[in-house]
A = this chain, B = another copy of it.
Amino acid sequence: MYSLEELVNRLGGELVGDGKVVVRRVATLDQAGEGDLSFLANPRYVSKLKSSQAAAVIVGPGARDLLTDRPRIVAPDPYLHFARVAQFFNPPEPAVPGIHPTAAVSVAIPASVSVAAGVVIEAGARIGEDVVIGAGSYIGRNCAVGRGTRISPRVSIYADCVIGQDCLIHSGAVIGSDGFGFAREKSGAWVKIPQVGRVVIGDEVEIGANTTIDRGALDDTWIGKGVKIDNQIQIGHNVRIGDYTAIAGCVGIAGSTVIGARCMVGGQAGIIGHLHIADDVVISAGTLVTKSINKAGVYTANLPVQGHADWVKNFAHLRHLDALVDRIRALEQRLEEKSSN
């Protein structure tokens, strides 16, 4: 429970209105009531701002004077300011240090570490201060987990992988599974290429639920600092992802592709193997990237949705687009011939 004055003193922003007003939590404009601090980040929702019951709001400079009946915090980027306030109101759940009796821990770990029920930590693993490891998670031989990293229940980290500091890894994530590497015999049978590289993950990385990151074949798979990876993502062996890149749910990135810094990859997008994607590239949802992208910008390849009957009518022509272009060319030639006659 903080007064707006206290919040502004700690986290910045310009206070407009009664600074003695006390707020207890953050809430959306729709849901906010007494004691709630809300925010307006998208000008589309101005009408919600007016009808909201929020005790106070965070707004951008442009919305500073839209409301005069309620105290507000004005910040250059109200969504970013809201993020900081929300973190302030909702610190991570404190974990109880110590090792649960049902855990199987083969190494010495700092007293500040919390190891939940059923966790397995194999020999040679190095666990940093203040690490939290959730129930049933598996940390393989010789792994390193950096200070302050939180691992949710039921995560698997295979041998030799390196996780940075202050990471957050969600339930069901698998880090360091074998890459998909096989050579083919004449018979069609596959001979496995042992996958002996590691996964090396930088600091402040978040990895979503049931995401998988394969270890390198010979060299390492590498995830840069501050990368944010959503749920259900597959990252193949020897992929390299630059700092602060964010990847939305259900994306697949095939082996040996290198992605630059500060990229944003939309949900269900895919990137085939052995490509280079430049820094600051944005890939739209559902787009399959089949060629390297050498320049920052937004790239897209997805289809307009139609009613099924319209789709049948329109998309049948895609099978004959080349013939259609031939017909246009023929028309042009005939018209040309006519004109020159």
A interface residue numbers (CB < 8 A to B): 26-28, 30-31, 77, 79-80, 82-84, 86-87, 89-90, 93, 100, 102, 104, 116-118, 120, 134-136, 138, 140, 152-154, 156, 158-159, 168, 170-172, 174, 177-178, 180, 182-185, 187-194, 196, 204, 206, 208-210, 212, 214, 218-219, 226, 228, 230-232, 234, 236, 243-244, 246, 248-250, 252, 254, 261-262, 266-268, 270, 272, 283-291, 293, 297-308, 310-322, 324-325, 327-328, 331-332, 334-335, 338-339
Whose C-beta in chain B lies nearest to the C-beta of A279? B188
| Pairwise interchain contact A286-B288, C-beta atoms closer than 8 A | yes
| Pairwise interchain contact B138-A79, C-beta atoms closer than 8 A | no
| Pairwise interchain contact B249-A249, C-beta atoms closer than 8 A | no
CA distance A252 to B187 in the complex (A): 26
| Pairwise interchain contact B306-A182, C-beta atoms closer than 8 A | no
CA distance A146 to B179 in the complex (A): 23
Whose C-beta in chain B lies nearest to the C-beta of A135? B120
CB contact between A87 and one of B178, B194, B218, B322 (< 8 Å): that residue:
B194
CA distance A248 to B271 in the complex (A): 13
CA distance A286 to B286 in the complex (A): 10
Whose C-beta in chain B lies nearest to the C-beta of A220? B31
Nearest CB in chain B: distance from A205 CB, A: 10
Q: A301-B302, A304-B315, A310-B322 are in contact. List 7 more A-B contacts (CB 8 A).
A: A232-B234, A234-B250, A288-B305, A290-B304, A298-B308, A303-B303, A314-B318
| Pairwise interchain contact B135-A135, C-beta atoms closer than 8 A | no
CA distance A93 to B195 in the complex (A): 12
Query: When A172-B174, A183-B77, A270-B268 are in contact, do A306 and B315 touch as well, CB less than 8 Å?
Result: no
| Pairwise interchain contact B267-A192, C-beta atoms closer than 8 A | no
Query: When A172-B210, A285-B290, A288-B268 are in contact, do A83 and B182 touch as well, CB less than 8 Å?
Result: yes
List the B side residues contacting A318 at CB < 8 Å: 303-304, 314-315, 321
List the B side residues contacting A189 at CB < 8 Å: 204, 226, 244
| Pairwise interchain contact A83-B191, C-beta atoms closer than 8 A | yes
| Pairwise interchain contact B250-A270, C-beta atoms closer than 8 A | yes
| Pairwise interchain contact B244-A188, C-beta atoms closer than 8 A | yes
Most buried by B among A116, A212, A244, A332: A212
Whose C-beta in chain B lies nearest to the C-beta of A105? B117
CB contact between A82 and one of B28, B140, B183, B335 (< 8 Å): that residue:
B183
| Pairwise interchain contact A308-B304, C-beta atoms closer than 8 A | no
CA distance A312 to B284 in the complex (A): 12
Whose C-beta in chain B lies nearest to the C-beta of A136? B136
CA distance A272 to B128 in the complex (A): 38
| Pairwise interchain contact A319-B314, C-beta atoms closer than 8 A | yes
